[in-house]
Amino acid sequence: MAAGTFKGGIHPYEGKELTKDKPTTLLLPKGDLVYPMSQHIGNPAKPIVAKGDKVLVGQKIGEADGVVSACIISSVSGTVKAVEPRLNVAGTMVESIVVENDNAYTQVEGFGVERDYETLKKEQIRSIIKEAGIVGMGGAGFPTHIKLTPKDDSAIDYLIINGSECEPYLTSDYRMMLEETNRLIKGIKITLRLFENAKAIIAVEDNKPEAISMLTHALRNENRIELKVIKTKYPQGAERVLIYAITGRKMNSTMLPSDIGCIVNNVDTMISVCRAVAENTPLIKRVVTVSGDAVKNQGNFIVLTGTNYSELVEAVGGFSAKPAKLISGGPMMGLALYSLDIPVTKTSSALLAFASDEVADMEEGPCIRCGRCVEVCPGRIVPQKLMEFAERFDDKGFEGLNGMECCECGCCSYICPAGRHLTQAFKQSKRSILNERKK
């Protein structure tokens, strides 16, 4: 039986009122475009252009390399200035293609031409999605053509569309549900063609009444797509949590959603599937929320991939106060930024700037054994005990206490009165264990 919510979780300040009523506006880049070859989970793409080459809008410039990888597509026309390592959002140097925009936006042949998706075979749909470079746009960047190719199509009975957007401040998916309702539904219908026994559920948190009303109206004649309103609680949008809230099915870190008959996709990813399959338009842009108390005029922007983050700051009129913290993505699971000289990628949902850094301002103290972290953990693990193993770099002990089931949601760190950097420590332990497993 569907649960509708989950045990644990937190209710942080939402901050969504800053941008939720700001319609998206197109931001055209001024400077060079930088396309990291790694904008997804899996092998980086291989550059297939060289310095001096001319490229067009919609042209593939990076080829997917290996089973889990994704193509990279140029979002502008212009000339390749360099193929070299550049700083990416994670603070590492990544092989990137730098394109000087000619501002002509000349497109490859056939770009944007409508296609009759109802006559396409499954392999054709998957191949188009792969060539369009589509990845999960909610943050993880899992290549969509892989996600949509489970062992057995007929065993999938739920296609879950994550419209919960439970991270504070983010409103990019919310705006898409309002502004791109038809494309969203078309993208879901295209995806449902792959899974003959599935029904689609769009999951929306109850703090989004306008999106709920818009979708309810748009879905009135759809018999394979339903809307499910779920409780507003963080991390409602985490894949495992969402699957449980919708289906009551449980999974652990060794399983894929498809093992329990589910495929989960983000709203913007479904819209990108519609664009690619029905409109011959690859993934070259996304919606980015620019918000936080240090931002002058918060808003939502349609941004071409490769655009420099500093251009987003320019678009909002700069900062109203010196930012103490910059984050790419949501405040709970996003990445802290040390430079704005990095490009927007397929997984960039937001740029947040805050005048103070509450985490850095708080001194870390010893655990007072209050148990609050245990109460909020959606993974039903014991963060307080897990921390003892993480601090001792005891990977065996960490695994033994189900540390790999941590989804890195940050609820425990958020609630901890002692300011313990729990999630950060768990992230490091998980990376270390995963690296060991690869050896």
Interacting residue ranges for ligand SF4, rule: CB under 6 A: 367-373, 376-379, 381, 383-384, 406-412, 415-418, 420, 422-423, 426
Q: Is 407 annotated as a binding residue?
A: no
| Planar angle of CA 213, 216, 222, nearest 5 degrees | 165
196 vs 364 by CB, closer to ligand SF4: 364
Q: Is 412 annotated as a binding residue?
A: yes
Q: Is 416 annotated as a binding residue?
A: yes
160 vs 376 by CB, closer to ligand SF4: 376
- In the complex, the smallest distance separating the C-beta of residue 68 from ligand SF4, rounded to whole angstroms, is 24
- In the complex, the smallest distance separating the C-beta of residue 358 from ligand SF4, rounded to whole angstroms, is 15
- In the complex, the smallest distance separating the C-beta of residue 233 from ligand SF4, rounded to whole angstroms, is 13
Q: How many residues does the chain have?
A: 439
76 vs 416 by CB, closer to ligand SF4: 416
189 vs 430 by CB, closer to ligand SF4: 430
- In the complex, the smallest distance separating the C-beta of residue 365 from ligand SF4, rounded to whole angstroms, is 8
User: How many CB atoms sit inside 10 A of residue 394's CB?
Assistant: 15
Strands 33-36 and 285-291: unpaired
DSSP class of residue 45?
P
68 vs 374 by CB, closer to ligand SF4: 374
Closest CA to 182 of 270, 303, 63: 270
Residues 6+ apart with CB under 8 A from 18: 169, 291, 292, 298
Q: How far apart are CA 269 and CA 271, in angstroms?
A: 5
Q: Side by side, which strands form the sheet with 78-87?
A: 33-36, 93-101, 78-87, 54-55
Angle, helices 383-391 vs 422-438, to 10°: value is 60
Q: Is 367 annotated as a binding residue?
A: yes
- In the complex, the smallest distance separating the C-beta of residue 123 from ligand SF4, rounded to whole angstroms, is 38
Q: What is the CA radius of gyration of the chain?
A: 21
Sign (positive or negative) of CA dihedral 426, 432, 435, 439 = negative
Q: How far apart are CA 313 and CA 318, in angstroms?
A: 5
Closest CA to 189 of 116, 112, 114, 130: 116
Angle, helices 181-192 vs 209-218, to 10°: value is 60
Please say whether the beta carbons of 237 and 269 come within 8 A. Answer: no
Q: How far apart are CA 405 and CA 256, in angstroms?
A: 13
- In the complex, the smallest distance separating the C-beta of residue 377 from ligand SF4, rounded to whole angstroms, is 3
136 vs 235 by CB, closer to ligand SF4: 235
Q: Is 262 annotated as a binding residue?
A: no
Please say whether the beta carbons of 292 and 130 come within 8 A. Answer: no
64 vs 386 by CB, closer to ligand SF4: 386
Report phi then psi at 147, rounded to 5: -60, -35
Q: Is 406 annotated as a binding residue?
A: yes
- In the complex, the smallest distance separating the C-beta of residue 244 from ligand SF4, rounded to whole angstroms, is 13
196 vs 358 by CB, closer to ligand SF4: 358
ω into residue 235 within 30 of 0, thus cis? yes
146 vs 411 by CB, closer to ligand SF4: 411
- In the complex, the smallest distance separating the C-beta of residue 238 from ligand SF4, rounded to whole angstroms, is 8
324 vs 362 by CB, closer to ligand SF4: 362
Q: Write the single-letter amino acid at 411.
A: C
Please say whether the beta carbons of 195 and 156 come within 8 A. Answer: yes
Report phi then psi at 407, rounded to 5: -95, 10
- In the complex, the smallest distance separating the C-beta of residue 323 from ligand SF4, rounded to whole angstroms, is 25
- In the complex, the smallest distance separating the C-beta of residue 256 from ligand SF4, rounded to whole angstroms, is 18
Residues 6+ apart with CB under 8 A from 151: 258
Which helix (H) or strand (E) segment holds residue 12: the answer is none
Residues marked as binding for [4Fe-4S] cluster? 367, 370, 373, 377, 406, 409, 412, 416
Residue numbers belonging to the annotated binding site: 367, 370, 373, 377, 406, 409, 412, 416
